[in-house]
Amino acid sequence: MKFSLATITALVAASAPAAMADGWECNGSWGDGGLKRLSFKFQGYCENRYGQCFLAAIRGKGLTVHNWQCWKRDDGWWQADLSTTMQYPPA
């Protein structure tokens, strides 16, 4: 499984929600057993849906998403963490 920070940034940035958000930042990625864990934060878009717009866009890119978590941080940003087993782009 090959994920670079650039790939993750490109994946989230290419989703329509990222283009419409007031701001978003990649927090990074790391191995999580046999999965790859991804983390990013955003503000100004899809807050009323707890980031589900991002989840739909990521799934729309062909990735299988496991353990999606999204919450509002104390600094006003929202953070989303997810795990995936597939590479991007899918083979």
Distance, first Cα to last Cα, the chain: 12
Residue-level pLDDT at 77: 94
Q: For position 49, what pLDDT does the model report?
A: 86
pLDDT for 1 equals 42
Strands 23-32 and 65-72: unpaired
pLDDT of residue 5: 54
Work out the burial of residue 84: count CB atoms within 10 Å of its CB; fewer than 13 is exposed, 13-18 middle, 19 or more buried. Answer: buried
Residues of the chain with pLDDT under 70: 1-21, 86-91
> What is 5-84's CATH number, 3.30.310, 3.30.1360, 1.10.10, 3.90.320?
3.30.1360
Radius of gyration of the chain (CA): 12
Q: Where are the domains of the chain?
A: 5-84
How many other C-beta atoms lie within 10 A of the C-beta of residue 46? 22
Give CA–CA dist 13/33, Å, rounded: 26
* Per-residue confidence (pLDDT) for residue 70, from 0 to 100: 94
pLDDT of residue 30: 85
